[in-house]
Amino acid sequence: MLQTKTVGGVDLAYYIVCKRKLWLYKKGIGMESESDRVLEGSILHETSYPRLNKKEILIDGAFKIDAIEGEYVREIKLSSKMQESDKMQMLFYLYQLFLRGMKKKGLISYTKEKKTVEVLLTEENKKNIQRAIAEAYLIIDRDTPPPIQKLRYCKSCAYYPFCFSREDDDDDA
């Protein structure tokens, strides 16, 4: 199924992690359902913040945030290995809420490390998120995927078999 053209928070996280992953995901090539890491994250989301009434909140049918607690938007992550992409995702949510007249701060909770990082929507961050959204649209609009880049975290990516299946065949030769 072809994804919608609208860019969301997860898309911007993918934009930071891997431009090819973003393109594949937005073209409807979803590998996440087969990923143990994605399953682990789903379970984490279901069990986190049991005392909060407002969890998994869909905003204007456009994007979903993990939780709102007072002045904070909360996101829950397993680990901080992808902290830059997590921050971009949070900034997207804060920016979208700002556009809707809500001024919030962000908290990203990393459960494995038992740490929380605060994210603020500064003027500089507004410019960064606007630029990232524009660049994400340029990637999505391409007719072909961006080239494969072998990154340090590729082997743990749900898209690894898609991107590197031919390379594994070459190793057997």
Burial classification of residue 138, based on how many CB atoms lie within 10 Å of its CB (0-12 exposed, 13-18 middle, 19 or more buried):
exposed
Q: When comparing pLDDT for 100 and 51, which is higher?
A: 100
The answer to whether residue 123 scores a pLDDT higher than 70 is yes
Length of the chain measured in residues: 173
How many separate domains does the chain show?
A: 1
Across 114-122, average pLDDT: 96
The answer to whether residue 150 scores a pLDDT higher than 50 is yes
- Say if 170 falls within a structural domain: no
DSSP string, 43-99: HHHHHS-TT-S-EEEEETTTEEEEEEETTEEEEEES-GGGHHHHHHHHHHHHHHHHH
Q: What is the CATH number of the domain that holds 124?
A: 3.90.320.10
At residue 133, what is the residue type?
I
Q: Which residues contact 153 (CB under 8 A, 6 or more apart)?
A: 17, 81, 82
Question: For residue 78, what pLDDT is reported?
Answer: 86
- Say if 78 falls within a structural domain: yes
* Digit-coded pLDDT (tens) for 93-102: 999 999 999 9
The answer to whether residue 160 scores a pLDDT higher than 90 is no
Question: For residue 46, what pLDDT is reported?
Answer: 60
List Cα–Cα distances, 117 to 37, 82, 109, in angstroms.
21, 13, 7
- Say if 2 falls within a structural domain: no
Question: For residue 173, what pLDDT is reported?
Answer: 38
Please tell me the pTM assigned to this model: 0.81
With bands split at pLDDT 50, 70 and 90, how would you rate the model's confidence at 119? very high
Query: Which structural domain range is residue 41 located in?
Result: 9-165
- Say if 55 falls within a structural domain: yes
- Say if 171 falls within a structural domain: no
- Say if 4 falls within a structural domain: no
* Residue 15: other Cβ atoms inside 10 A: 24
With bands split at pLDDT 50, 70 and 90, how would you rate the model's confidence at 171? very low
